[in-house]
Amino acid sequence: MIRREIGRTGREVNAIGLGCMGMSIAYGEPMDQGEAVKLLHAALDRGVDHFDTAELYGFGANEELLGAAFHDRRDKAFIATKFGPVGDLKERTVRGVDGSEANMRRAIEQSLRLLKTDHVDLYYLHRKDPGRPIEETVEAMAKLVKEGKIGAIGLSEVNADSLRRAQAVHPIAAVQWEYSIFTRDIEREVLPLCWDTGVTVVAYSPLGRGMLTGAFTRDHKPEGQDYRAVVSPRFKGEAYGANIDLVEEIERLAKARGAQPSQIALAWVLATKPNVVTIPGTTKLANLEANLQAADIKLTAEETASLDGLADKVQGERYDERGMTLVDA
């Protein structure tokens, strides 16, 4: 097990945590609550203590799962949630981002109620509000720290300038970005800044939304209303086939190491910087256990170099046009 500190909070977590979104939305039918709670308990029993959720994930349904799982073992779980995106609860649609103090207070009270706790360990602004200075939002979040409702402040998908401006108001413990063998935008400016200023990078989708696990082939890909088929150009058309070619290179390396592609992908992310932690998602215990074994894999310089070259060959943006407008790139 690899343990790493979240920012400069003094709180360490397993560097392989659990992203919980897929239990409620995006990749098929929501998990049965009883089965989800069993999985969350199994994760905790196996040393996973960093659990990531958000108001947006099922519009509260995902937070409710964590509340059911951890209300009687709260001291063992490091819980991170997020606010910002707003929409229609009935239609399950997002219309924009609201980083106002009023929306933040509404959201945190709802999150605390659903999570069945009196505090959240890490609270993120899920996306930067394009119509509001980030300083204003972070100043409001700082009040929650003083009130004891949150332990630390995080930001998600912000650029280096926004991070610097936020840091001028209050210490930022973590920045969440998509980061994987296939997605390395963060390395240009944000990752170096986080390293220099003691901010933890929480890598979401470190398995490329499942593409890097080897679970998909040319003849088997996400379809219908699966989130990936709807919003990710990498899973569509000619780009999909080209990207599967790249995945096969990872599969060959994994086979030579007696490992799974997902383990190679996680090992690569964890080796980038000591301030990086991951939150791969899964709904299956076998996948969770396999992910945890990635901590024991040390890639050689030659293996790392071969993986480093793949990102430049990836075809398609990570989100569709609308999704990319919400990224503070």
What DSSP assignment string belongs to 30-72? PPPHHHHHHHHHHHHHTT--EEE--TTTTTTHHHHHHHHHHTT
Q: Provide the annotated active-site residues.
A: 57
Confidence of residue 88 (pLDDT cuts 50, 70, 90): low
The yes-or-no verdict on residue 197 having pLDDT over 80 is: yes
Question: What's the whole-number mean pLDDT along residues 65-81?
Answer: 98
Residues 6+ apart with CB under 8 A from 22: 281, 282, 283
Q: Which of 134-148, 151-165, 216-230, 244-258 has the lowest mean pLDDT?
A: 216-230
For residue 73, the model assigns a pLDDT of 97
For residue 92, the model assigns a pLDDT of 55
* Percent of the chain residues topping a pLDDT of 70: 98
Contact between residue 25 and residue 62 where contact means Cβ atoms under 8 Å apart: yes
Question: What's the whole-number mean pLDDT along residues 274-280?
Answer: 98
Q: Which of 46-50, 115-119, 228-232 has the lowest mean pLDDT?
A: 228-232
Q: Phi and psi at residue 180, in whole multiples of 5°? A: -160, 180
The yes-or-no verdict on residue 30 having pLDDT over 80 is: yes
The yes-or-no verdict on residue 266 having pLDDT over 70 is: yes
Neighbours of 162 (CB within 10 A): 20
For residue 212, the model assigns a pLDDT of 97
Burial zone of 146 (CB within 10 Å; 0-12 exposed, 13-18 middle, 19+ buried): exposed
Name the architecture of domain 3-210+272-294.
Answer: Alpha-Beta Barrel (3.20)
pLDDT tens string 164-190: 999 999 999 999 999 999 999 999 999
The yes-or-no verdict on residue 1 having pLDDT over 80 is: yes
Strands 153-156 and 174-178: parallel
Q: Which of 91-105, 271-285, 290-304 has the lowest mean pLDDT?
A: 91-105
Contact between residue 175 and residue 187 where contact means Cβ atoms under 8 Å apart: no
Mean pLDDT of the chain: 94
- Read off the pTM: 0.95
For residue 329, the model assigns a pLDDT of 62
For residue 223, the model assigns a pLDDT of 81
The yes-or-no verdict on residue 91 having pLDDT over 60 is: no
User: Strand, helix or coil at 286?
Assistant: helix
